[in-house]
Amino acid sequence: MLVISGTGTGVGKTVVTAAIAALARDRGDGVAVLKPAQTGVAPDQPGDLADVRRLAGDVETRELRRYPDALSPEAAARRSGLQPVTPAQAARAAGELHERHDLVLVEGAGGLLVRFDPVGGTLADVAWSVGAAVLIVAEAGLGTLNATALTAEVATRRGLDVAGVIIGSWPSVPDLAARSNVADLPVAAGAPLLGVLPEGLGSATREEFLEEARRGLSPWFGGEFDPDCFAGSVSAQT
Domains annotated on the chain, with CATH = 2-235 (3.40.50.300)
Classified as helix, coil or strand, 66 is strand
Q: Can you list the pairs that 42-50 forms with residues at least 24 positions away whose Cβ atoms lie under 8 Å?
A: 42/68, 43/68, 48/13, 48/14, 48/17, 48/107
| Helix spans in the chain (H) | 13-26, 48-56, 73-80, 87-98, 123-130, 144-157, 176-189, 206-216, 227-235
In this predicted structure, the answer to whether residue 88 has a pLDDT above a threshold of 70 is: yes
**Contact assessment for residue 180 and residue 1, using Cβ atoms and an 8 Å cutoff:** no
pLDDT confidence bin for 21, thresholds 50/70/90? very high
* Mean pLDDT score of the chain: 95
Type of residue numbered 136: I
Output the pLDDT for position 6: 96
Is 35 catalytic? The answer is yes
In this predicted structure, the answer to whether residue 238 has a pLDDT above a threshold of 80 is: no
In this predicted structure, the answer to whether residue 235 has a pLDDT above a threshold of 80 is: no
pLDDT tens sequence across 52-76 = 999 999 899 999 999 999 999 999 9
In this predicted structure, the answer to whether residue 114 has a pLDDT above a threshold of 90 is: yes
What does pTM read for this prediction?
A: 0.95
pLDDT tens sequence across 150-165 = 999 999 999 999 999 9
Give the span between the Cα atoms of 100 and 31, in whole angstroms.
Answer: 9
pLDDT tens sequence across 178-234 = 999 999 999 999 999 999 999 999 999 999 999 999 999 999 999 999 999 998 888
Which listed residue (7, 16, 21, 35) is catalytic? 35
Tell me what the mean pLDDT of segment 160-174 comes to.
97
**Contact assessment for residue 40 and residue 191, using Cβ atoms and an 8 Å cutoff:** no
**Contact assessment for residue 49 and residue 59, using Cβ atoms and an 8 Å cutoff:** no
Give the span between the Cα atoms of 194 and 200, in whole angstroms.
Answer: 19
Tell me what the mean pLDDT of segment 45-49 comes to.
94
pLDDT confidence bin for 133, thresholds 50/70/90? very high
Output the pLDDT for position 110: 86
